[in-house]
Structure 1
Amino acid sequence: MPIITRKNYLYTVRPGDTLYSIAQRYRSSVQEIMRINHLYPPVTDPGLIYPGNLLVVPDVSSAGKVSYIVKSGDSMNSIAMKFSSHVDLVSGINRIENPSMIYPGQLVTIPAFIYEIQMGDSLFNISRKFGTPLQSIISANQGRPGFQTDVIWPGYQLILPQITSRNIVVWNPLPGTRVASGQRIEGQARAFEANVLHQVRDANGVIVSNERFTTADIGAPAYGSFISTVPWDRSPTSSVGELWVYTRSANDGSIQDLVRTIVYF
């Protein structure tokens, strides 16, 4: 599936900006910005942008996570809400100690990824394919000049918020990824004693990879980074399943902060 893994910035156009000045600032190219934001007919005149437009700006030289560029009037709450996330999580993964102290131009990593629309796609089937609620897709892409809810264009690149809990985000694998035994998983978690658990289930409820644990590099109240691998204990009985990443309650052992990521076998 055409998930885009290069570094991308989410930039809000300011008065005086041009596509050339934006491209120069973020190691991008005018042609790529135009292509992935569909800045040409029938959506707009070629390259036409206005202050307030939200653009996906690709860094053509490197891979990495999606960064939102804070604009005047933003708050951590408004950023978290736009991308269907949590203030605690977004602040924690960015090591922002005081969420009320952010400033225009600041880079904020958000739990989202970029997907390039293919022929035959619809917002509904994209939502189902990646497990991202339709309203979350609409919210994340609101304000983009090439975005419409009723017509989508092959080659256009959508912002897709990731499913997270308040305390866990999974960076790898991304939703919709094809996985195999030994799959590497990576993420960040705010977890008691830094313990993070994971398992894989197929669509028939078969536990393909039994529950195992890994340890983040820092325990709560910080959001520590964790890495693990997922071996198969039995063969999948369907082509689709879910990676579960979670913690367990110290009181009764119940699953807490469950993040379920759709994967394909």
Structure 2
Amino acid sequence: MKAINRLWLALAVGGILLGALLLLAAGQGVALAAPVSHAPQVISAGKAAQAGAIVYVVRRGDTLSAIGRRFSVSVATLMRVNHISNPNRIYIGQRLLIPTAGPTPTPTPGPTTVPGEPVEEITIIQPSMGMMITSPVTVMGVGRGFEQNLGVRILDASGFEIGSGNAMISGELGQRGPYTGVITFTMPANAQPGRIQVFAASPRDGAFEHLNSVSVQLPGSGLDATLEQLKTALEKADAEALRQLLGRPFLFGLYRSEALLSEDPVQVMDLLASYGLNNPTVFVDFSVDARPLLQDSGGVPPGVEHVAYSTGWGEDGTWSAFLYLGAQQGQMRWTGIVLVAPEAKDF
């Protein structure tokens, strides 16, 4: 009996203390936390339009800061609009409101769906998540866009755009339908993850109305490694290493003159030797972006992916050269050289 009395006394004291705390909180204006609901927030296209925003569906690999950079919206704004307390806790499939600069057009009514079930305006079927891609890449899926048109962007690991284009939707105007686009892009030098974005743009101001993306793998072109090998081989006059790097055919020419295409590595090496290959002054300069220097002379031939600049050529080391590099049979190769006499230099 005494144990029961002590239990009732403890409960009574606890109740008095709880009541006192509640009164104190009310007197000091302290807001007591309401029960937290972990149910995901359902954001409809209509709610997004009313808020002057678009809907973005979180994909694998997304972070709130990366999404903010993509749409030029601060993390603080995304947290406020979407009632997010921890920026590090977003989940795959979460639908986020992305504020836009101007009013968003009223979305076109879509097909009948199950109430409360979210429907993505754009889906990506190909390439699949994590797929290795090369240029050009065929992008396929189902979506809706203005005048049956969708935009496509290819991004590298840093989020830099390395290619873009359009995909056309088949089917009735204004309705969702299958789309296909073939997009050419510049392969980064090193293997890295990338991302394909497919989006519908507003005809009013070009802002994204709907966007979906998929992460992919970019194998890399091998450009950096080939440049390093070429630099070492030229500056050391390593003939054997240069033969391994030579592309076939190989273009040999003088600046603003006709060029020779040769399949014979022996002929190419003889030509290089006659123009100072063995000079100790030959130097490959990676700091110069040589493509703009060739614009006034007609640019570069098809298939050339990079142009390096080199100095120290000729009998007296006063000539310079443009070194062409391009992919052949899936490997980066030295595909040509254009030598520039001192009197012909106009850049």
Shorter-chain-normalised TM-score: which range? 0.3 to 0.5
TM-score, L = length of structure 2:
0.29
TM-score, L = length of structure 1:
0.37
User: Rg: which structure is higher?
Assistant: 2
